[in-house]
């Protein structure tokens, strides 16, 4: 089919309404001259800007090949942004520029640089050594406990020694308290904390209280004024009360060593110097599986009477009451084993014996529960089938629970 035939065929499908509307006169609209004027001005501006941006390219000429001096249509088309290309949003631009700005600021401030870190480390090391050799009264950190005893005599109070497992080995701790000024408002005016990290006890921390006259090498001691403290330690970190602006404390810290001077009502109330040892990481002692367990939902109690052993069974809530009261706190060891009056079979290999007071007794394990129960049924002594673990006094209230349960039965 020729183009002419296609044209005539297409005209045949045009509706009569369209033909009628085509015959009607068209109203001419006056052009908006203002719009035309501004559109022409805008077009001129675009043309001028476009020509200006291309001038450098037009000025580029090559002595060897004239083709490179002329901007081809393909090059111009490639450099002209298309309407389909998405524009960069403001948020994306900020997100891309922010890391660069932060890096620039970090570079300008020197934060995180090796040079500053190394400088701080050297300053801290020097201050750390200064604090480690600072005396508070006649004592300094690291002084052996024997030397302290020879210098100060027996303390007013000594704490019990205790040790902990750490990532640096076993550490032992003890505290001594002195009251040289006999200040009645304080238990002590000096507290010395000792630590044994494997080489014997040494002074790990020194604290003064109340009217203690132990002074630092700068002359600062309890009772010194806030002004004297600031003058003696101008480079220390100072903290002030937000409500009235009064000095609360000044502090020098280098690594794990710290000198803290607490001020109240304008005068020094407490000085703390320590610690000699860097605080180690405490390790949790491996938990040992208990040799017995009071957890059971079915407990049989045997009570001694004239005919032998009378049994009662407790389940659910009543069994839970026995479990809770027996395990509510650690058992207290006792020296004398009472005469058996009750046996509790927890059905899990644990057997508890109680005396007449229902407090004193013992904990056993039983590997042959059938033999144990047979002995109880026959009124015989069950101890040949029991292994003693602990003679103990059971928690307060055990007697009340047992009596209530037996009375209810």
pLDDT, residue 162, reads 86
pLDDT tens readout for residues 250-293: 999 999 999 999 999 999 999 999 999 988 887 765 556 678 99
Q: In whole angstroms, what is the distance from residue 368 CA to residue 391 CA?
A: 21
pLDDT tens readout for residues 96-144: 343 344 344 333 433 333 233 334 444 488 999 999 999 999 999 999 9
Q: In whole angstroms, what is the distance from residue 273 CA to residue 260 CA?
A: 7
pLDDT, residue 296, reads 93
Q: What count of Cα atoms within 13 Å lies in the side-chain half-sphere of residue 326?
A: 27
Mean predicted confidence (pLDDT) in 345-361: 96
pLDDT: which is higher, 397 or 286: 397
pLDDT, residue 45, reads 62
Q: Is the pLDDT of residue 216 over 60?
A: yes
Q: Please state the separation of Cα 111 from the chain's center in Å.
A: 25
CB 49 within 8 A of CB 42: no
Q: Which two tokens stand for residue 142?
A: 């690291």
pLDDT, residue 338, reads 94
Mean predicted confidence (pLDDT) in 387-397: 94
- Between strands 157-158 and 162-166, the pairing is unpaired
Mean predicted confidence (pLDDT) in 201-226: 96
| DSSP codes joined into one string, 216-236 | -TTS-BTT-BHHHHHHH-TTS
CB-based contacts of 369, cutoff 8 Å, min separation 6: 345, 347, 349
Q: Give whole-number Cα distances, 236 to 129, 223, 230, in Å.
A: 16, 19, 8
pLDDT, residue 312, reads 93
Mean predicted confidence (pLDDT) in 210-229: 96
Give 177-182 contacts, CB < 8 A, sequence gap 24+.
178/152, 180/212, 180/213, 181/210, 181/211, 181/212, 181/213
Q: Is the pLDDT of residue 356 over 70?
A: yes
pLDDT, residue 50, reads 60
Q: What is the CA radius of gyration of the chain?
A: 47
Mean pLDDT of the chain: 78
pLDDT, residue 39, reads 61
Q: Is the pLDDT of residue 214 over 90?
A: yes
Q: In whole angstroms, what is the distance from residue 216 CA to residue 58 CA?
A: 82
Q: In whole angstroms, what is the distance from residue 263 CA to residue 273 CA?
A: 15
Q: In whole angstroms, what is the distance from residue 272 CA to residue 133 CA?
A: 14
pLDDT, residue 81, reads 42
Instruction: Specify the range with the lowest mean pLDDT, choosing from 110-124, 294-308, 352-366.
Output: 110-124
Q: In whole angstroms, what is the distance from residue 109 CA to residue 387 CA?
A: 73
pLDDT tens readout for residues 369-386: 999 999 999 999 999 999
Cβ atoms within 10 Å, residue 89: 9
Go through the chain and tell me how many residues it has. Answer: 409
Domain extents in the chain: 129-274, 298-408
In the three-class reduction of DSSP (H, G, I as helix; E, B as strand; rest coil), residue 297 is classed as: coil
Domain 129-274 CATH class label: alpha beta
Q: In whole angstroms, what is the distance from residue 354 CA to residue 6 CA?
A: 116
Binned at pLDDT 50, 70 and 90, residue 84 comes out as very low
Give the predicted TM-score (pTM) of the model.
0.44
pLDDT tens readout for residues 152-198: 999 999 999 988 888 888 899 999 999 999 988 888 999 999 999 99
Percentage of residues in the chain having pLDDT higher than 90:
57
Instruction: Specify the range with the lowest mean pLDDT, choosing from 64-73, 176-185, 299-308, 322-331.
Output: 64-73
Binned at pLDDT 50, 70 and 90, residue 306 comes out as confident
pLDDT, residue 358, reads 93
pLDDT, residue 184, reads 84
Mean predicted confidence (pLDDT) in 45-49: 60
Q: Which two tokens stand for residue 236?
A: 């220390």
């Amino acid at each position: 089919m020729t183009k002419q035939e296609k044209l005539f065929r297409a005209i045949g499908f045009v509706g009569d309404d369209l033909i009628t509307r085509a015959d009607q006169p068209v109203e001419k609209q006056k052009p908006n001259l203002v719009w035309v004027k501004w559109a022409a001005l805008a077009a001129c501006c675009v043309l001028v800007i476009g020509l200006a941006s291309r001038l450098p390219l037009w000025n580029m000429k090559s002595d060897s090949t004239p083709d490179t001096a002329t901007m081809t249509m393909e090059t111009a088309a490639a450099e002209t942004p298309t309407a389909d290309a998405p524009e960069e949003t403001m948020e994306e631009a900020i997100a891309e520029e922010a890391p660069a700005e932060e890096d620039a600021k970090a570079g300008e401030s020197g934060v995180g640089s090796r040079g500053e870190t190394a400088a701080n480390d050297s300053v801290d090391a020097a201050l750390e050594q200064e604090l480690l050799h600072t005396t508070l009264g006649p004592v300094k950190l690291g002084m052996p406990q024997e030397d302290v005893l020879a210098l100060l005599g027996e303390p007013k109070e000594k704490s019990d020694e205790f040790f902990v497992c750490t990532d640096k080995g076993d550490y032992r701790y003890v505290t001594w308290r002195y009251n040289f000024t006999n200040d009645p408002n304080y238990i002590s005016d000096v507290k010395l904390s000792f630590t044994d990290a494997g080489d014997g006890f040494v002074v790990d921390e020194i604290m003064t209280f109340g009217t203690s006259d132990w002074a630092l090498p700068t002359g600062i001691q309890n009772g010194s004024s806030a002004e004297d403290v600031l003058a003696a330690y101008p480079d220390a970190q100072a903290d002030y009360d937000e409500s009235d602006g009064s000095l609360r404390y000044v502090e020098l810290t280098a690594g794990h060593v710290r000198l803290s001077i607490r001020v109240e009502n304008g005068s020094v109330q407490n000085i703390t110097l320590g610690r000699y040892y860097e605080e180690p990481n405490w390790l949790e002692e491996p938990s040992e599986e208990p040799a017995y367990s009071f957890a059971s939902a079915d407990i049989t109690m045997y009570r001694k009477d004239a005919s032998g052993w009378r049994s009662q069974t407790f389940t659910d809530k009543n069994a839970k009451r026995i479990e809770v009261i027996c395990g509510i706190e650690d058992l207290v060891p006792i020296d004398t084993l009472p005469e058996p009056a009750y046996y509790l079979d927890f059905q899990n290999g644990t057997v508890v014996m109680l005396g007449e007071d229902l407090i004193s007794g013992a904990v056993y394990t039983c590997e042959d529960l059938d033999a144990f129960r047979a002995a109880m049924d026959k009124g015989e002594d069950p101890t040949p089938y029991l292994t003693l673990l602990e003679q103990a006094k059971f928690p307060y209230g055990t007697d009340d629970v047992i009596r209530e349960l037996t009375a209810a039965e």
